[in-house]
């Protein structure tokens, strides 16, 4: 199963269990959720041990799905109640996953798939850097001078996490 199909299947199962409860997440809360997932990956990379039994790969999958949720939230804004059906949520998921894949393919062409020679720990550090950038942009209320927006950072987080899942699957 390819990475995005795996992530989509998990997202759909969680959507069944919890509905689109993530619709209530404000941008800063979503950023913090991405942060704790990435920090856990870094912690596990350093400590080489998980006391709760889940490893690094599921956290990269979570970063992919939360990154897509972030893109949906940027498009639709947050709400105080769940305001979309599972079908609408899946359509939005597919739209943003497709956009992230298209960006990845373009960058893979331009960078000649350099990610394949990188360490997984570098993906983690780059993701944490992107999250820090999102926090800064949020603190500036989006008023940047030359920087890409939050959406570009979410796309990069998704794509670095995809690379992490691929590399961890190949090992």
* Model pTM above 0.85: yes
User: What DSSP designation does 32 have?
Assistant: H
pLDDT at residue 85 is higher than 70: yes
pLDDT at residue 50 is higher than 80: no
Cα→Cα distances 171→47, 84, 127, 152, 167, Å:
19, 39, 21, 29, 6
Kindly give, in sequence order, each residue whose CB lies less than 8 Å from that of residue 160, ignoring residues fewer than 6 positions away.
115, 123, 126, 127, 130
Please, which pLDDT band fits residue 66 given cuts at 50, 70 and 90?
A: very high
Q: What is the pLDDT of residue 171?
A: 60
Q: What percent of the chain has pLDDT over 90?
A: 75
Share the mean pLDDT of the chain: 92
Q: What is the pLDDT of residue 23?
A: 96
Q: What is the pLDDT of residue 127?
A: 97
Distance (Å, whole) CA 35 – CA 9: 23
Please, which pLDDT band fits residue 45 given cuts at 50, 70 and 90?
A: very high
Q: What is the mean pLDDT of residues 156-166?
A: 95
């Amino acid at each position: 199963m390819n990475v995005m199909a795996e992530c989509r299947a998990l997202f759909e199962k969680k959507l069944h269990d919890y509905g689109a409860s993530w619709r209530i997440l404000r941008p800063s809360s979503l950023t913090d959720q991405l942060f704790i997932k990435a920090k856990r990956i870094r912690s596990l990379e350093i400590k080489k041990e998980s006391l709760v039994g889940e490893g690094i790969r599921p956290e990269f999958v979570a970063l992919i799905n939360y990154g897509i949720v972030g893109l949906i939230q940027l498009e639709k804004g947050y709400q105080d109640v769940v305001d979309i059906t599972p079908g609408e949520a899946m359509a939005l998921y597919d739209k943003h996953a497709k956009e992230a894949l298209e960006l990845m393919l373009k960058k893979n062409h331009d960078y000649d798939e350099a990610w394949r020679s990188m360490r997984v720990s570098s993906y983690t550090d780059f993701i944490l850097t992107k999250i820090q950038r999102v926090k800064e942009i949020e603190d500036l209320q989006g008023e940047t001078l030359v920087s890409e927006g939050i959406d570009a950072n979410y796309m990069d987080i998704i794509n670095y996490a995809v690379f992490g899942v691929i590399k961890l699957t190949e090992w």
